[in-house]
Amino acid sequence: MTTKNKAIFLDRDGVLNVEIGTYVWEPEKFVICDGVPESLARLKAAGYLLIVVTNQAGIAKGLYTAADVQACYAKLQAACANALDALYFSDAHPSVSESILRKPNSAMLEKAVARFNLDPAQCWIVGDRLRDMAAGAAAGVRGILVGEEPGEGFAPHVADLRAATDIMLL
């Protein structure tokens, strides 16, 4: 029997980069949150795979392209010593197109579980929206809510990825 892996699923905007209240697709406006490189290094050292799962509705709205999302991901990777193992994103928006990949649906997480042979019980999702927590719950993954959106009591609620990392590494 093969050993299952463990992972941290990371929402992008508001967790890894600063939430600016609008779509972020230009690398010069993609500002990495304080403590992210150090937090990712700590999680990686603890044996976690690091997987970004992000809704990118601006693609469906024609505001930017998948290549723009990849450019921001490349900037993040460069700042974090290439610690990230994968990027999954949904390019859908309900006003334009539906997708089972779009959170609160869990297909992005389920794809990663299959690809990386993950044990959901050993995984976490860190996000700044209740839809991130819902996607994690649907995939059997524990969640930690960061930032301003009030929690509903089903997930720890902390200030940022640094605080979430402290909880996950307890």
Enumerate the active-site residues. Answer: 11, 13
Cα(107)–Cα(21) distance, rounded to whole angstroms?
Answer: 26
- Give, rounded to a whole angstrom, the gap between the first and last alpha carbons of the chain: 27
What's the full length of the chain, in residues? 170
CA atoms within 13 A on the CB side of 37: 10
Quote the tokens at residue 23. 């779509």
If we measure between CA atoms, which residue out of 131, 144, 138, 92 comes closest to residue 113? 138
